[in-house]
Structure 1
Amino acid sequence: MLKNCFLVAVRTLRRNIGYTTLNVIGLALGITCSLLLFLVISFELSFDTFHRKADRTYRINIDSDDQNGHHQSAGTPLPMYAALKSALPELNPITHMHEEEGGTFALLSSDTTQTLQKFREEGSVMFIDSAFFDLFDFETGGVNVKQALRDPNSILLTESIAKKYFSDGNAVGKVLRMNNTVNLQVKGIIPDAPANTDIPYIMLVAYEASNTINSLFRSDNWNSTSSSEQIYFATAPGASAKQAEDRINEIADRYRQRRPGEKERFTLQPLANLHFNEGYSNYNDRTVGVQTLWALAVIGAFLVIIACINFVNMATAQAMRRAKEVGMRKVLGASRSQLVVQFLSETGLITLAALLVSVVLTELLLPYLNQLLDLSITFSVLENKEVALFLAAVLLLVTFFAGLYPALILSGFKPISALKSKVATARTAGLSLRRALVVLQFTICQVLIICTIVVHDQMEFFRTASLGFDKEAIVTVPIPSASAHKLMPLRQQLEAHAGVSATTFAMSPPSANVTMNMSFNYDDYSIERNFNVNFRFADENYLKTFNIPLIAGRMYQKSDTIQEFVVNETFLKQVGEKSPEAALGKKMVVNGGQNEGRIVGVVKDYHVGSLRETIDPVVMSTWAYFYYNLNAKIEMKDAKAAIAHLQKVWSSAYPDDVFYYEFLDDTIAEFYASEQRQADLFKIFSVIAILIGCLGLYGLVSFMVTQRTKEVGVRKVLGASSLSIVGLFSKDFTVLVLIAFVMAAPISYYFMEQWLQDFNYRIAIGYWVFLAAGAVTLLIALTTVSVQALRAAFSNPVTALKTE
């Protein structure tokens, strides 16, 4: 019986090749999208789950509350690791690590006197101790890591870096000089860190070397923290994480000083949560919200549902054509259950064909998806059990849900009526259900269109909003740590080129993911202010280069150390000053009393971070040690020559380092990379949803045209124009799209309002967004309907009236 069902199904589908092709295309599009989204979700959920102790591994974070609100950080005081290791042996294994975001690496000669080659890296260089591989199960490639990193000046390269530096494969024993500061001997080559980890090292260095690389922050002060310095540990099986957290805070309370009114607690974050909590971030500098994953899952399900609706509409549109076939089968003894199996077999074949097409499309599209989302997803049906199970589930569910209703309708025809072509209209149509399905399709389409417009507008707002300073045509060139003094005397040479209009040396550009907080006293030395201040160190040309306006006073004078201060408006509000002029001349003591000076100027507020956050209180001053960047304003028409000039002067100051630059507007755009990817995804899925929806409309209009053939013929004989016949079919669908619009508008408004809450600076959702989405959907729907309606309008009425 099954063989017969299969053969009949194949013949039937071959006879109706157009119907089969449309269904395969519709289902293939929906399944491909759902499969790609499944791969994305599976990849995001897999981060660091491969560690055997993952379910009981934690990172120590800091949560604090002060006058500015709630703050979260993954940084820990440097002496905390030794204190915990000594006082809490039950936290085992426990490890600490320090991250440097790339740097310059010089390959030295065997006697370390000559530089043979220079490289610049942007990835994570991780400084680790011997317990790192006791806690984490990263591949070592057979290298005895503990032995290899016993020497404080040792380094392990990943395979990709080793291949880049040593094409001959002979890396072990060679010496690399990092940041022109410390010599590191290569002790081994290990496999690359997996793509699904939030500890994405490109090199591993003995922890002790971090004291030389970044000596300024290697302090035994319990009140100093850095997000680069993190502690991880595993609890004993079955042990309480809450008890461990309490014990850690007991120890911290002995050493750590708090400001008056400040509330602070060290908290434990499960390893599995690192990838999903933006508040603490991670070494990957990339998190994804669980809500985002749910949204992707819902979109994937919706796209498959839309494709199934198409199938239902087109299958029932074929009902009239197959009525006699059903009647003949019943006369010959076929039972209803046999007919249901027959029609489900046909659906199964179509779904299987769509599934095969989807697998091919996924293979072709996955590289583009990886590039779009900056992921490293792999795809294999045979090797990945989860993918195989997903495809099997899709095959069964789509076959059942897409095929069951048409199968029940077709198998329910009465044989006599079917053979006489007198199948009841109500019986074949189920028109109210199909119209409801079309409404559902276009509700989903309009929700996606509205979301796409809102996300796009928010991205445009980010791109065009005034940040309070000039970001265009600004080039940022990193300076090797604590060595700006080598380049500062060359300022006249830097500005000698006509394409370079201004230069400044600074810790960072005005808007950057850089924060430096210091305790300070303002005016009344007896009161230490209880709020965080973002200190920005820059030279006297900073305001001029970035065109940051002064509203009172002047810019501070040239100096290599802290002498004078310039503050922003938010700072004045926090200290209670009623006017900018009132702050001029006031004294400030910072850095634990080590530095003091007077406020000489006040600038308008500018954004020091992304537009997700409110503006911080900012204090600016000179301190050459912290000038990590050269910022140059260039003429874009002469950009290539200007950058070449900057490189020439820079290289004369740092012959052993690698010149690197980036445009400030590109750096700022990276703040919103995640949202931009969401915008791109919405655009793609909106187009696909509309395309699938149009196929569904085509199926329903096909049914209506078949059903109303005689009516069209009579109308044409009585003088109806082609335009009036097109309007006859379009009227019903206009109503359906409008109903979908009424449903889609509040749904999309709710979700987009929730999404916009993540941003302190955001657009308002205007009514035009909904009208535009409704108009676009209506236009597309009417265009699709008109194609089929015109065929009916231009058909020969005599042929239509002869139709039985």
Structure 2
Amino acid sequence: MLKTYFLTAIRMLLRNRSYSFLNIMGLALGITCSLLLFLVVRFELSFDNFHEKGDRTYRLAIRHEADGNSGVMASIPGPITDILRQNNPGLEIITQVFGEQDGQITVPATANKPARHYREPGALGFVESDFFRMFSFGKGNLPFIERLQEPHTLILTQQLATKYFPDKEPVGQVLRLNNQLDLEVIGVIPDVPDNTDFPFKLFVSYASANELSPYEISEWGTVLSNQNLYVTLPAGADYKEIEASINRIVLPHIPKKHQDLKSFFLQPLHDVHHNEELFNYSMRVVPMEVIWAMALIGIILLLTACINFINLATGQAIKRSKEVGMRKVLGCSYRQIILQFLGETFLITFAATLLSVILTEISLPYLNQLLELKLTFSFVRDPLLLVFLGPLLVLVTLIAGLYPAYMLAGLQPIAALKNRLNTQQVAGLSLRRVLVVLQFTICQVLIICTLVVGEQMAYFRNKPLGFNKESVVLLRLPAGNATKLVSYKANLLKEPAIQKVSFTMAPPTSIIIAENGFKFNGSSEPMPFRSHTKFANEAYFNLFDIPFVAGRAFTASDTIKEFVINETMRRKLAIPTAQEALGYKLNMAGKDGIIVGVVQDFHQSSLHHELPPAIITSQLSAYYYMAAKIDMNQKEAAIRHLENIWNKAYSDDVFNYEFYDETFELFYREEVRQQTLFKIFAFIAIVIGCLGLYGLISFMVAQRTKEVGVRKVLGASALDITILFSKEFVKLVLVAFLFACPIAYYLMQKWLEDFTYRIDIPYVAFLIAGIVTLSVALITMSSKAIQAALADPVQSLKTE
């Protein structure tokens, strides 16, 4: 019996090749999308879930508030760690981490090899030995981690150990960090996995951090985004009780001048990868809303493919009604007919699944490139894929096949054999219309979302930022050591291709953020809020075209003497006008100065955030970057000259540069990726929807063959016939549009809430979505409608 079912199914699929091809392609597209999105969602949800103590590990974060403005940060002043260790509120492990976004490693020269220099961006972490007790990096017992308590020690990952010492034992060797510290390699651990927010490859003893940072990281006044504190709770402990204990212990120790630190809370380790408000070392945050949105899109596209299958399958119902009638007359049971058609659906779904595996293999490299991920697809290394695909195969078979199977099995044999079936009896036209409306609602929602995201991205690119980012080259200085290159400033400007040069802690908009307390107008008490602080030389304003509202730039100095503030700071200080702000005294880091200028507000972080109060002043020791404004028509000459001067100033450091406008785009890379994904999935949804439309119009043409013949005999033109069929579907697309508009509006309104600076949702996006889907639908429908209109009416009327 099973053999007969199988052979019959194969025969039917081969006999209806176009039907089989459309169904297989539609399902394959849906399954491929769901499989790719499954890989992405699973990867994003897996971050740092491999740590044995991960479920009871937390990051300590701070709620701060001043002058009615509140916020959160994961930056922890150094003294808090000592307070918790001296008054432990029941924590199992306490460890602090200091991450650097850039570092240079020098492998000293040997008798056979010259010194080698390597730039290791984002790979440097200053940690304590407890870091490896808390996090499961490395395998088994690691006795050498105890030595991380000593200064000038270092642990390498296997990748870097092989890179630096390919022909010798790395343990015991010495590496030089940023041409400042000699570090002894005390151990080697396996490479950290990709799904971690601690992407370190070099683990340097935390005791060495102060020797590299221009800031005193153990002081209350130092709040750096890359300094974090992690704690592990005992098994079974209530983290809310521990959180309350931490507040009771730490808050009384906070100095009066730092009373903007209001409370502390514990952030679960699994939330670090998904919380947009707080920093992480991978510099990559994927909110849970985005992850669930991707999962939902995968489900929707799969459902759309199933709807497409149902439409095509029921479109074939008339052709198979006599077959069903004959089977029933010969004694075939209701259950046997259902199993027969489910078997056919299973074969189609199985073929579509095999095709989707091939499509996934082909498309995965492009998806990895788009999302900057390292996803892999292998049933051997990842058996969970089979666990996903197996149930998916069964589920799709049931969703796509049950309705057509039950519908065909329920046909009356006499009516079927006499060909007296009508549209409602065979295929439930109302349900099919609902399914088409649902398909095109999904298509239009995706198109609208794509257009709105694109408009927001265009707004980011075109919105005035308060400065000019074009034609600026950034050079990251070795460990903030600007002194050598400053002495070459005159030589730098001798090259005509280099127009302006400035030294700074960071460009105007940057991930490097320093917040400082300060005193105002001779007060002995600090202000109740912190300021964003930009350290730069006097050329900073001219290079980045930051306009002055009043006053001037500070005079050239290697240390704090004068200050420039922004308009937001002026308002926070309750100074009525910019001109009146000039001459007021400020004290920062124990140094007095006066306000000599007020600049127009400029954005210091992405447009997700409000403009903060800012102070700009000079401090040679805090300069991390050199910025050069160049003539882009002589770009090669400018870069060549910069490299020549660099090699004179820093002969032992790797020359590297970046264009600021390209770096600036990284602030919105997640939004750009979302826009690209929306485009891809909207296109796929339209393709699948068109296949469904093709199935529906094929069904209607089959049902109305005689009607078309009669109309043509009575004088109807091909255009009249085409309009006859098309107007039915135009109504369905318009109904889908009415559903899609409020859904898309709600989704985009929620998405835009994450941006402080955002567009109003453009209504033209809705019109474009409606026009595009209507045009595509008309093209799809017209092909089949015109074919029916051109058919010979004599043959149509002879059809029984």
Scaled by the length of structure 1, the TM-score of the pair is 0.96
Verify: 1:286 aligned to 2:265, yes or no: no
Verify: 1:87 aligned to 2:87, yes or no: yes
Distance 2:332 2:144 in 1: 72
Verify: 1:627 aligned to 2:632, yes or no: no
Matches within 5 A, 1:319-358: 319-358=317-356
Q: Secondary structure at 2:597's aligned position in 1? A: strand
**What's the counterpart of residue 28 of structure 1?**
28
Verify: 1:456 aligned to 2:448, yes or no: no
- Cα 1:68–1:546, aligned 2, differ >3 Å: closer, same or farther? farther
> Displacement of 1:574 after TM fit?
0.7
> Displacement of 1:195 after TM fit?
1.0
What amino acid does structure 1 have at the position aligned with 2:38? F
**What's the counterpart of residue 391 of structure 1?**
389
Matches within 5 A, 1:496-575: 496-526=494-524, 528-575=526-573
- State whether residues 143 and 189 of structure 1, in contact with CA within 8 Å, keep that contact through their aligned partners in structure 2: no
Q: Secondary structure at 1:534's aligned position in 2? A: strand
What amino acid does structure 2 have at the position aligned with 1:559? S
Distance 1:141 1:472 in 2: 51
Distance 1:733 1:359 in 2: 34
**What's the counterpart of residue 257 of structure 1?**
255
Distance 2:681 2:104 in 1: 42
**What's the counterpart of residue 647 of structure 1?**
643
Distance 1:259 1:774 in 2: 58
What amino acid does structure 2 have at the position aligned with 1:133? F
> Displacement of 1:384 after TM fit?
3.2
> Displacement of 1:264 after TM fit?
1.1
Q: Secondary structure at 1:764's aligned position in 2? A: coil
**What's the counterpart of residue 116 of structure 1?**
115
> Displacement of 1:147 after TM fit?
5.3
Q: Secondary structure at 2:516's aligned position in 1? A: coil
- State whether residues 274 and 288 of structure 2, in contact with CA within 8 Å, keep that contact through their aligned partners in structure 1: yes
Matches within 5 A, 1:402-441: 402-441=400-439
Per-residue displacement from partner, 1:165-220 (whole Å, max 9, x unpaired)? 3444653433211111101122333211111111111111222222322263233x
Distance 1:749 1:120 in 2: 46
Matches within 5 A, 1:296-315: 296-315=294-313
Matches within 5 A, 1:608-757: 608-757=604-753
Relative to structure 2, which stretch is displaced further, 773-782 or 181-190? Answer: 181-190
- Cα 1:571–1:151, aligned 2, differ >3 Å: closer, same or farther? closer
What amino acid does structure 1 have at the position aligned with 2:414? I
- State whether residues 521 and 586 of structure 2, in contact with CA within 8 Å, keep that contact through their aligned partners in structure 1: yes
Per-residue displacement from partner, 1:566-618 (whole Å, max 9, x unpaired)? 11111111111121111111111222xx1111111111111111111111111
Q: Secondary structure at 2:606's aligned position in 1? A: coil
- State whether residues 534 and 616 of structure 2, in contact with CA within 8 Å, keep that contact through their aligned partners in structure 1: yes
Distance 1:205 1:627 in 2: 23
Distance 1:253 1:437 in 2: 60
What amino acid does structure 1 have at the position aligned with 2:529? F
> Displacement of 1:293 after TM fit?
1.4
Q: Secondary structure at 1:682's aligned position in 2? A: helix
Q: Secondary structure at 2:695's aligned position in 1? A: helix
**What's the counterpart of residue 46 of structure 1?**
46
- State whether residues 100 and 123 of structure 2, in contact with CA within 8 Å, keep that contact through their aligned partners in structure 1: yes
- Cα 1:451–1:89, aligned 2, differ >3 Å: closer, same or farther? closer
**What's the counterpart of residue 233 of structure 2?**
235
Verify: 1:11 aligned to 2:11, yes or no: yes
**What's the counterpart of residue 381 of structure 1?**
379
**What's the counterpart of residue 203 of structure 2?**
204
**What's the counterpart of residue 164 of structure 1?**
163
Q: Secondary structure at 1:399's aligned position in 2? A: helix
Distance 1:489 1:153 in 2: 30
Q: Secondary structure at 1:602's aligned position in 2? A: strand
- Cα 1:170–1:675, aligned 2, differ >3 Å: closer, same or farther? same
Verify: 1:793 aligned to 2:793, yes or no: no
Distance 1:229 1:3 in 2: 68
- State whether residues 221 and 517 of structure 2, in contact with CA within 8 Å, keep that contact through their aligned partners in structure 1: no
- State whether residues 557 and 564 of structure 1, in contact with CA within 8 Å, keep that contact through their aligned partners in structure 2: yes
Distance 2:717 2:158 in 1: 73
- State whether residues 29 and 688 of structure 1, in contact with CA within 8 Å, keep that contact through their aligned partners in structure 2: yes
> Displacement of 1:78 after TM fit?
1.8
> Displacement of 1:725 after TM fit?
1.4
- Cα 1:56–1:260, aligned 2, differ >3 Å: closer, same or farther? closer
- State whether residues 126 and 205 of structure 2, in contact with CA within 8 Å, keep that contact through their aligned partners in structure 1: yes
> Displacement of 1:249 after TM fit?
2.1
Relative to structure 2, which stretch is displaced further, 336-345 or 473-482? Answer: 473-482
- State whether residues 537 and 622 of structure 1, in contact with CA within 8 Å, keep that contact through their aligned partners in structure 2: yes
Distance 1:136 1:40 in 2: 24
Distance 2:718 2:422 in 1: 28
Q: Secondary structure at 2:488's aligned position in 1? A: helix
Distance 1:116 1:142 in 2: 33
- Cα 1:215–1:636, aligned 2, differ >3 Å: closer, same or farther? closer
Relative to structure 2, which stretch is displaced further, 409-418 or 688-697? Answer: 409-418
Verify: 1:272 aligned to 2:258, yes or no: no
Q: Secondary structure at 1:599's aligned position in 2? A: strand
Q: Secondary structure at 1:122's aligned position in 2? A: coil
**What's the counterpart of residue 102 of structure 1?**
102
Q: Secondary structure at 1:798's aligned position in 2? A: helix
> Displacement of 1:143 after TM fit?
5.5
Distance 1:169 1:756 in 2: 55
Matches within 5 A, 1:107-186: 107-110=107-110, 116-140=115-139, 144-146=143-145, 149=148, 151-168=150-167, 170-186=169-185
> Displacement of 1:705 after TM fit?
1.0
- Cα 1:408–1:169, aligned 2, differ >3 Å: closer, same or farther? farther
What amino acid does structure 1 have at the position aligned with 2:67? Q
**What's the counterpart of residue 365 of structure 1?**
363
- Cα 1:150–1:111, aligned 2, differ >3 Å: closer, same or farther? farther
Distance 2:401 2:152 in 1: 67
Matches within 5 A, 1:64-75: 64-67=64-67, 69-75=69-75
- Cα 1:222–1:554, aligned 2, differ >3 Å: closer, same or farther? closer
Q: Secondary structure at 2:117's aligned position in 1? A: strand
What amino acid does structure 2 have at the position aligned with 1:678? Q
> Displacement of 1:77 after TM fit?
2.3
Relative to structure 2, which stretch is displaced further, 739-748 or 117-126? Answer: 117-126
Q: Count matched residues.
A: 800
Q: Secondary structure at 1:266's aligned position in 2? A: strand
Distance 1:163 1:18 in 2: 56
Distance 2:52 2:258 in 1: 43
Distance 1:709 1:107 in 2: 82
What amino acid does structure 2 have at the position aligned with 1:751? L
Q: Secondary structure at 1:62's aligned position in 2? A: strand
Distance 2:515 2:336 in 1: 76
RMSD of equivalent CA atoms: 1.9
- Cα 1:163–1:727, aligned 2, differ >3 Å: closer, same or farther? farther
Q: Secondary structure at 1:472's aligned position in 2? A: coil
- State whether residues 124 and 283 of structure 1, in contact with CA within 8 Å, keep that contact through their aligned partners in structure 2: no
- Cα 1:688–1:482, aligned 2, differ >3 Å: closer, same or farther? closer
> Displacement of 1:379 after TM fit?
2.3
- State whether residues 257 and 525 of structure 2, in contact with CA within 8 Å, keep that contact through their aligned partners in structure 1: no
Distance 2:97 2:144 in 1: 15
Distance 1:176 1:64 in 2: 40
Q: Secondary structure at 1:50's aligned position in 2? A: coil
What amino acid does structure 2 have at the position aligned with 1:546? F
Distance 1:263 1:227 in 2: 15
- State whether residues 222 and 255 of structure 1, in contact with CA within 8 Å, keep that contact through their aligned partners in structure 2: no
Q: Secondary structure at 1:601's aligned position in 2? A: strand
> Displacement of 1:418 after TM fit?
1.3
What amino acid does structure 2 have at the position aligned with 1:670? L
Scaled by the length of structure 2, the TM-score of the pair is 0.97
What percentage of residue pairs aligned between the two structures are identical? 48
